[in-house]
Every structure is written in C-alpha cells, then in structure tokens.
Amino acid sequence: MVLAALIVLTVITVLITSVEMGPYNTAAALLIASIKAAVVLLYFMHLKFDQKIYGIMVGIVMAIFAAVIVVTFFDYLYR
C-alpha cells in the first residue's frame, strides 16, 4: 500500500513537469517530494508507531526547513 502510494507519487512528479506552471512547477515538485518523504518517515522509519516526542522533533525540523525554502523563494518570485 505504502509502496504503491510512493510509485503513484513518482509518476505524478514526472507527469506534472509537462504542465506549464512557471515557478510553481518547483513548488509542486517540492510538495510531492515532501509527501513522499513524510510517508517514508511515518511508515518505513516507524515514526507513526514511535513515541510522540520524536514526531514532534522531526515535525519542527521539517517546518524550519520548509520555512527556509519559502523565504528563499520570496526572492525568486518577486525578483
């Protein structure tokens, strides 16, 4: 099931490159990659079944990382 979701998401990543969305193509690619990474973390790396504190810590790290990317893209979107 998880493997199937990852394969489907990979196919979507490839297909979406043929849709012209300007700078949002990158955003879409990043979003799909993030979903895939989250699925891997939750199921393959057992985050979902572990103590909550680990999920919170990973969540904070991901949020900071996402925020850094968003702030960087401010420059590219408005330059």
Partner 1 sequence: MAEHNHTKHEPNYLEYQGKHKGLLGWLTTTDHKRIGLLYFYSMMTFFLAGVVMGLLMKFELISPGEQIMGAQTYNGLFTLHGLTMIFLFVIPGVAAVYGNFFLPILIGAKDVSFPRLNLMSWYLYIFGAIVVLASQFMGDGPPDTGWTFYAPYSLKTNTNVVAAVTGAFILGFSSILTGLNFIVTMHRLRAPGMGWLRMPLFAWSLYGTGWIQLLATPVVGVTFLMVVAERLLGIGFFDPAIGGDPILYQHLFWIYSHPAVYIMILPAMGAITEIIPTFARKTIFGYTAIVISSMAIAFVGYFVWGHHMFTSGMSSTSRWVFSLLTFLVAIPSAIKVFNWTATLYKGSINIQTPFLWAIGFIFVFMIGGFSGLVLGSLATDIHVHDTAFVVAHFHYIVFGGTGFAFFGALHYWFPKMWGKIYNTKVANLGLLIFFIGFNLLYFPMFYLGLMGMPRRYYDYLPMFENANVLSTVGSWIMATGLIIIIVNLVRARKGSGREIDNPWDGKTLEWTIASPPIVENFEEIPVVEHGPYEY
For residue 48, give the DSSP letter.
G
For residue 22, give the DSSP letter.
T
> What is the nearest approach in angstroms of partner 1 to the Cβ of residue 73?
9
Question: For residues 19 and 53, which CB has a smaller minimum distance to partner 1 in the complex?
Answer: 53
Question: For residues 11 and 60, which CB has a smaller minimum distance to partner 1 in the complex?
Answer: 60
Question: For residues 17 and 72, which CB has a smaller minimum distance to partner 1 in the complex?
Answer: 72
Quick one: angle between helices 52-78 and 24-39, nearest 10?
170
Q: Which residues of the shown chain bind partner 1 in the complex (CB under 8 A)? A: 61, 64-65, 67-68, 71-72, 74-79
Measuring CA to CA, how many Å separate 56 from each of 33, 47, 70, 75? 20, 10, 21, 29
> What is the nearest approach in angstroms of partner 1 to the Cβ of residue 63?
10
